Amino acid sequence: MQLYIGNKNYSSWSLRPWLLMTHAGIPFEEIKLRLSFAADSPFKKSLAAITPTGRVPVLVDEGFAVWDTLAIAEYLAEKYPAKQLWPAQPLARARARSLCAEMHSGFTALRSHCPMNIETSLPEIGAKVVAEQPDVVSDLARLASMWEKQFDEHGGPFLFGAFTVADAFFAPVCTRIKTYALPVPPRAAAYVEHIHSLPAMQAWTRDARAEHDFLDFDEPYRTAR
C-alpha cells in the first residue's frame, strides 16, 4: 500500500492514517507531497491521477484509492481485523466512531485559529487566542470533557484503554495544544504528553522538524526567516 501525505509539519489530516498505520505495524510506502493550493502545482498534478478531491491523505492499495481519513480508517480496520483498530465492544466502538466523526467535522475554531505547526512553539499566540476567541475556549472545554469521560470509563492511558482510531484522530489536536500551550486540565495534558511519547508520534515529529519548509499559507502568525 502507498499512503500519500502532505508536509508533516502542517498536514494534520495526513498525520491521522500515518500514525494509525505506523503504530499498528501496518506496512506501507510513504509518498510525501509538498502542500500547495495552486492548480498547476506538482502536488495537484500528482494527486489528479489518484483522487478526484486533489487532497491528502490518500491510501492506494493495489491501484485502488481510498480518500478521507474516516474511510481510510474503516478500510484498514476491515483489512486488518487482528490489529483491533476499533474497540472490540460494540458500544465502545460506536462511541469511538462518534468521537471520530465529531473531530472530523467539528472544532473549527480551534483548527482555524491554531493550525498544526509542530516545529515551533507559540505560547504567546495561544494566550492571545484564548483571550480573544471564545469559540476556541469552547472547543477546548469540549475536548477536555470528552476525554475526561473516556478516561473515567476506560481508565486510560488512551481514550478507550488501548490505542484505537480515536487516538489517531485526536493526535493533531494534541500537537496544537502543545504548540500553542493551550490550557487544558491535568488529565487532558497528560494525554497530550502520552500521545507525544509514542514512538510513531516521535518519528513523525522528528520528520516534521527536519523539513525546514516554510509555507506561508500555513503560517498565519509568522513570516519567512
Average pLDDT over residues 46-68: 96
Of 223, 132, 218, 225, the residue nearest 176 (C-alpha): 218
Q: Measured between alpha carbons, how far is 146 from 99 in angstroms, rounded to an integer?
A: 8
Q: Strand (E) positions, 129-187? A: none
What is residue 44's predicted lDDT score, i.e. its pLDDT?
Answer: 96
Domains of the chain: 2-83 (3.40.30.10), 90-206 (1.20.1050.10)
What is residue 224's predicted lDDT score, i.e. its pLDDT?
Answer: 77
Tens of pLDDT, residues 164-192: 999 999 999 999 999 999 999 999 999 99
Cβ within 8 Å of residue 110, ≥6 positions away: 136, 139, 140, 143, 173, 176
**Is the separation of the CB atoms in 121 and 181 below 8 Å?**
yes
Say whether pLDDT at 223 is over 90: no
Tens of pLDDT, residues 124-166: 999 999 999 999 999 999 999 999 999 999 999 999 999 999 9
Q: Measured between alpha carbons, how far is 183 from 203 in angstroms, rounded to an integer?
A: 25
**27: burial class by Cβ within 10 Å (0-12, 13-18, 19+)?**
exposed
Q: pLDDT-derived band of residue 225, with 50, 70 and 90 as boundaries?
A: low
Computed over every residue of the chain, the mean pLDDT equals 97
Tens of pLDDT, residues 79-119: 999 999 999 999 999 999 999 999 999 999 999 999 999 99
